[in-house]
Structure 1
Amino acid sequence: MSYVGPDFDPPQPRRPRRGPVTVAVAALVPGALLGWLVYEAVGGSGDGGGAGNTAVRTSAASTTSAPPRTSPGDGSDAKEPSASPAPSRTPSASAPAASGPLKGKVVVIDPGHNPGNFQHAAEINRTVDIGTNRKECDTTGTSTDSGYTEAEFTLDVAHRLRTLLRQQGATVRLTQDGDRPYGPCVDERARIGNQAGADAVVSIHADGSAAGNRGFHVILPGSVHAGAADTRPIVASSRALGERVAGTFVRVTGSAPSNYVGGGTGLVTRKDLGGLNLSTVPKVFIECGNMRDSKDAALLTSGAWRQKAAQGISEGIVSFLRG
C-alpha cells in the first residue's frame, strides 16, 4: 500500500511514458520460514535488507490526470478479462451467497485507493478525523515502473478474492468497485465494514518502498483509545485474523515476509491508520509486495500470481472465520 497521506505513502515519481508472544505467532514462524525458503529458491530476497521508512510518508502533490493504464507485464494475463467497473452502487454490494461453510458470514473487502483519485486532488486531500488526529481523505497510491497502478492491482485481487469467498458461502461487500469517482475516504471505508456488521475486513494494498525492499506484510491495529477511535475490543481478534492471513499467504504464494518491516514475521502493528483506528470489527491491511522493486513488481503484475494472492488471503479468512 503505497501509504500516501491518510493511510498511505506518496507515489514515487512516474516515468514520462506512461505484546506477549502468542501460540498463534509461534505457529506462524515455521510457515514464514518455509515460505522464505521457497522464495529464495525462486529468486532470492533482492539487494539486501535495509529497513525502509516509506510506509509512513507525508502527502505528495496530487496529479491532475490519471496515469496511462498499462496492461500487466505477464503474458499469462493476455486471455484474462479486464477488471471493469461494476454498475454504480454504494457500497458495492454482494450477490446472494452460495451455500458453504461461510454461509451467514459477512466479509468486507477494501481495495485500497481508487483509479479516479488522480483526477480528484482537492477531494482526496481534504482531511478527516481518524480519532488520534486528522489525515487526508485518501491518496493516489503507488505504481510499478511500467505504470501498473496500485489501484488497478487492488481491484483485481479484490474481484478474485470476492469470487473465492462467495464460493465458500460468504456474503461479500467491497468498499468500492471502481464505481465512484474517488475514494471513499478512510473514515468511510471503516464505517462501511462497521455498518455491515462484518465478521472480517481485509484492506488490500501494495507498497511503494525502495528497490531491494521485498516481501509482504500484514498490518494489525494497535490499541488506540482517542476521540472517535477505540480499537481495544478488536485488537485480539484482528491479530488472530492477521496471523491466519499471513500464514496462508506465505504457503500459497511462496512469497517471503517483508525484509524491511516486521522483523521477518510478516506482521506490523500500527496506530496511525484511520481505516484501522475507526474499525469496530476485526480488520487488517495486507501489503502484498513492493511495487517499486522489480522482482516484486514481476509478481504483482502477473495474473497467475494475483490469483495465488487472492487464494492465500481467502484461505486465511476462512481459517479465521471457522475458528
Structure 2
Amino acid sequence: MRYEDRSQPSDAAPPARPWYARRATLVVAAAAVAPTCLAGWVLTQVLAGAGPDDSRPPRIVMPLSVPSPAPSPAPSPDAATGTGPSTSPSPGSSPSPSTGAKADPLTGRTVVIDPGHNTGNFQHTDEIDQQVDIGTNRKECDTTGTTTNDGYMEAEFSLDVSRRVRTLLEGRGVKVLLTHEAGKARAWGPCIDERARIGNEARADAVVSVHADGVSAGNRGFHIILPAKVKGGGADTAKIVGPSRQLGERIAGNFARTTGSSPANYLGSGTGLVVRDDLGGLNLSTRPKVFIECGNMRDAKDAAQLTSPEWRQKAAQGIADGIVGFLGG
C-alpha cells in the first residue's frame, strides 16, 4: 500500500525521509492504538454477555485492561423518603406480590377436630344410652369414656389436646371447627351420628377424633383407627377409605416422632394402625376421618404422659403436623 505525504511544502523543505522510515512511523502509531480498541471490544463482550435467546455457553475472555466500575449513584431523596419509586421495601413492610411471596397453601382449608366423649356424659347416662343408626347396625349415642386411676377423665384429655391442635392449625391459616366444647351449651354428647354430620356438613378436608384408651395395665402406646369399607343404611365409606389411611399414616409418623411414643403393643401388629367397621363416627363420615387413641389411661406409665401438659402439647403438635402433611402444607 502507498502512504500519502500530507505535509505542506515550504521554501526550505528538509530532505524527504525514505519511504521505509515513514512506513515504520505509521506502524508504531497503529500498534499504540490497537490495544486500546481491543480492550474496549473485550470489555463490551464481557459486560454484555449472551443475549436471552443465545443458547451458547458464555465465552470467558481475559480483558487486556478493565477500568474500575463506576460507583453506584446515591439514592435519590424521593427513594429515601419513600415518596417516589424505590426498588427496596421500607423496613417492616410486607413484601408485595411482585416479590414472589406466596400465601400459606393451607389458608382456606377446613379441618374438624372431634374431642372424644364429654365430661358431662357421666351425669347424662340415660341420654347417651339412646340408640342411633350407624349404617351397619345401631349403637349407643355416646359413652362416658375412661379415666386414669387417679380420676383424670378421657373427656378432659381429649378436649385439652383438641384445643391445642386447633391453635396450631389456625396459626397456619386453617379454619378449624370443634364438634363440641364441654360446658359451652353442650352438657353431654353430641351423639356419634351428629359428630359425623358436623364434619360432613363442614365439607372438611380432614376430620380427627381425639381419644385415649382404657385397657388393662401393661398395654401401652398409641394407635390410629381407620374406617373399614362398609355400605349399609346411611353408611358408605368407599370414597374415604384411601384418603383416611393416608391421613392416619401421616398422623402416626408425626405423633411417634414428636411424642417419642411407640405404636400400641397390644393391637395393630406394631404398625399403630387398626381398621374397624363398628364406629359410627367413621361409618357415617363422608370426609377423610380417623380416630387417634393417644395412649392407655389405665397404664401408669402412659397415664403419666397423658396427664402432663407438656406431653399433651407434643401430642397436639404431632397430630397437627400429620394433618398439615396430609393437606400438603
Q: TM-score, normalised by structure 1?
A: 0.69
Stretch deviating more after TM superposition (137-146 or 99-108): 99-108
What corresponds to 1:209 in structure 2? 215
1:124 aligns with 2:105: no
Q: Distance in 2 between matches of 1:144 and 1:120?
A: 20
Q: Residue 102 of structure 1: CA displacement?
A: 1.1
What corresponds to 1:260 in structure 2? 266
Unaligned runs of 5+ in 2: 1-102
What corresponds to 1:172 in structure 2? 176
What corresponds to 1:239 in structure 2? 245
Q: Distance in 2 between matches of 1:184 and 1:319?
A: 29
What corresponds to 1:314 in structure 2? 320
| Mapping 1:69-148, distance limit 5 Å | 100-148=104-152
Tell me the SS of whatever aligns to 1:232.
Answer: coil
**8 Å CA contact 1:100, 1:170 repeated in 2:** no
Q: Distance in 2 between matches of 1:166 and 1:247?
A: 22
Q: Which of 289, 299, 304 is the matching residue for 1:298?
A: 304
Q: Distance in 1 between matches of 2:248 and 2:301?
A: 25
Q: Which of 254, 257, 265 is the matching residue for 1:251?
A: 257
Choose between structure 1 and 2 for higher RCO, CA contacts under 8 A separated by at least 6 residues.
Answer: 1
What corresponds to 1:272 in structure 2? 278
Q: Residue 153 of structure 1: CA displacement?
A: 0.2
Tell me the SS of whatever aligns to 1:151.
Answer: helix
Q: Deviations over 1:245-304 (max 9, x none)?
A: 001001000000000010000000000000000000000000000000000000000000
Q: Which of 153, 171, 192 is the matching residue for 2:198?
A: 192
Q: Which of 223, 232, 249 is the matching residue for 2:229?
A: 223
**8 Å CA contact 1:258, 1:266 repeated in 2:** yes
**Structure 1 residue runs of 4+, over 3 Å off?**
none
Amino acid at match of 1:145: N
Q: Residue 227 of structure 1: CA displacement?
A: 1.1
Unaligned runs of 5+ in 1: 1-98
Q: How many residues are aligned here?
A: 225
What corresponds to 1:182 in structure 2? 188
Q: Residue 101 of structure 1: CA displacement?
A: 3.2
Q: TM-score, normalised by structure 2?
A: 0.68
Larger radius of gyration: 2
Q: Distance in 2 between matches of 1:276 and 1:100?
A: 29
Tell me the SS of whatever aligns to 1:280.
Answer: coil
Q: Distance in 1 between matches of 2:156 and 2:241?
A: 30
